Amino acid sequence: MGEVLSRPAAHRAAPHDKEQVLLQIYTSGTTGRPKGVLISQYALSLTRHAELTNPAFDHLSSGCRILSAMPNAHVGGMSWVLMGLVRFGTVVLTADASPRSLLALLRRYRADHCFMVPTVIRALVDELARGEPAPELAGIYYGAMAMSESLLRETLQIFRCAVIQFFGMTEIAGSATVLGPEDHDLAKPQLLRTVGKPYPGVGIEIRDPNRAVLPRGVPGEIWIRSPSVMLGYSNLPDKTAEAMVDGWYASGDGGFLDEQGYLQLTDRIKDLIVSGGENVYPAEVEEALRQHPAVLDAAVVAVADDRWGEMVAAAVELRPEATVTAAELQQFARGRIAAFKCPKLIHFVPQLPRTVSGKVQRAEVRRQLHEQRIAK
């Protein structure tokens, strides 16, 4: 499935316009209809160069063997194909992200680097926890969603390799920040709550609804300036003008910069829950729920409520053969977060709805929980 490429004796680049559209690739569509993002020749080549020169990738050497468990229709999957090819390495592609399949491919192709989302890493760790020896890896890379501290601890114990996180999006043709191996240290829990620092040449500002820049430590919307920013959305001039202002891209993601310049995410701005006048960030509630040993994953959204304006509601996916009641889970959460942040409605689901890139489809979760609210 992969093939090692030998470097040609001579190479002559074909003439091209660096501002020409090279790719039209679609957003995840977690909150609405996916949008076609127009990415230029220059943007895509620039992000690959940034990865070649970033110290976080020093161990990703020429001739590496990469297993990508992400679809190539997603910018994350496409990036890892190109990352392997520019290093004259082997890239193993798979549409089957089940743990048995991934373990078989890692061993068959002797892959030493793997890119996955945390839900896939969770399944892989659970499979190996049964006693099977882990394949030897030099690096595990992840993105698309946060990794819990407990999952990181298990991942480091089982694989004993470098772990690297990325935060990015289709609109900037790849990553904006990276949290390197040295920062994945269980003795530095404050860093594990971040997505790292910006790539060289990438600017990040946190702004309020009036587009004013906010000081360090104050949450707001993440704005990004980078030479790799998209040319725009296909056939959506109004959406393009809304997202791109004076060379900056308004990401729609919430977060803040700490005093050391690390970026910490809160949530999508549209996903912020205001319950009884208090702000509730779904990510904080989800992390509290995931700490319960019976919980595999959770998605928290707002549901309309006559008394509180918005109610904190959660869809919860349990581990195989695990059991817990809603009341038990609510009591567990109260020991970790403020009472007003705890879900007043918990709905157990066989599997959370996800996009092909592994992100939870919050619009679908919101619809399901709204129906549960009406049923009650």
Q: What is the CATH number of the domain that holds 366?
A: 3.30.300.30
Asked if 290 and 338 sit in the same domain, the reply is yes
At 33 the pLDDT is 75
The alpha carbon of 80 is separated from its chain's Cα centroid by a whole number of angstroms, namely 14
At 14 the pLDDT is 63
At 316 the pLDDT is 96
* Contact by Cβ (8 Å): 326, 332: no
At 16 the pLDDT is 66
DSSP category for residue 70:
S
Asked if 195 and 301 sit in the same domain, the reply is no
At 151 the pLDDT is 86
| Total domain count, the chain | 2
Question: Would residue 15 count as lying in a domain?
Answer: no
The alpha carbon of 124 is separated from its chain's Cα centroid by a whole number of angstroms, namely 17
- Among 267, 284, 302, where does a domain finish? 267
List the structure tokens of 329: 């889970």
Question: Would residue 1 count as lying in a domain?
Answer: no
Give the bridge partners for 253, in sequence order: 268
Whole-prediction pTM: 0.79
CATH code of the domain covering residue 225: 3.40.50.12780
Amino acid sitting at position 190: Q
Calpha distance 323→4 (Å, rounded) = 47
Asked if 173 and 103 sit in the same domain, the reply is yes
Output the CA torsion sign for 232, 233, 236, 241. negative
* Contact by Cβ (8 Å): 41, 20: yes
- Tens of each residue's pLDDT in the chain, 376 residues: 444 444 555 556 666 677 789 889 988 665 567 889 999 988 888 887 777 777 777 778 888 999 988 888 888 888 888 888 888 999 999 988 889 999 999 999 999 999 988 888 988 998 998 888 999 999 999 987 777 778 888 999 999 999 999 999 999 998 999 999 999 988 888 888 899 999 888 999 999 999 999 999 999 999 999 989 999 999 999 999 999 999 999 999 999 999 999 999 887 888 889 887 788 888 889 989 999 999 999 999 999 887 778 899 999 999 988 999 999 999 999 999 999 999 999 999 999 998 776 778 888 998 888 887 777 6
Asked if 277 and 261 sit in the same domain, the reply is no
Asked if 157 and 80 sit in the same domain, the reply is yes
Asked if 289 and 243 sit in the same domain, the reply is no
Residues 6+ apart with CB under 8 A from 114: 66, 67, 68, 69, 102, 106, 137, 139, 140, 141
At 55 the pLDDT is 77
* Contact by Cβ (8 Å): 60, 83: yes
Which of 71, 44, 31 is CA-nearest to residue 302?
31
Asked if 257 and 293 sit in the same domain, the reply is no
Compute the half-sphere exposure of residue 171: CA atoms within 13 Å on the CB side of its CA.
20
Continuous H helices in the chain: 41-53, 75-85, 99-108, 118-128, 149-159, 189-192, 237-243, 282-290, 326-334, 362-375
Question: Would residue 3 count as lying in a domain?
Answer: no
Asked if 298 and 200 sit in the same domain, the reply is no
Calpha distance 304→66 (Å, rounded) = 45
- Among 212, 235, 267, where does a domain finish? 267
* Segments forming the whole domain that contains residue 185: 21-267
Asked if 169 and 52 sit in the same domain, the reply is yes
At 210 the pLDDT is 94
